[in-house]
A and B are shown apart, each in its own frame.
Chain A
């Protein structure tokens, strides 16, 4: 049995994003946006 306090800790959600999957998706989308920006940056100046 996992104590209630521990369960609450493990299930606690992040601020702003609402849920952890949304936070992870934000990281992935941020990364994609970075790569796209870097790509256009490379193209623009090379």
Chain B
């Protein structure tokens, strides 16, 4: 448990560095989801 607890205090620098990755991931993920939704609607119509 003590070992695992270390993952709780990652340095602030990591999320700052990985900010663009998170933003890109969200954009691609949402884009894919919208695309699938659009495809599903087209199939129903």
Tell whether A and B belong to one assembly.
no
Q: Residues of B at under 8 Å CB distance from A?
A: none
Q: Residues of A at under 8 Å CB distance from B?
A: none
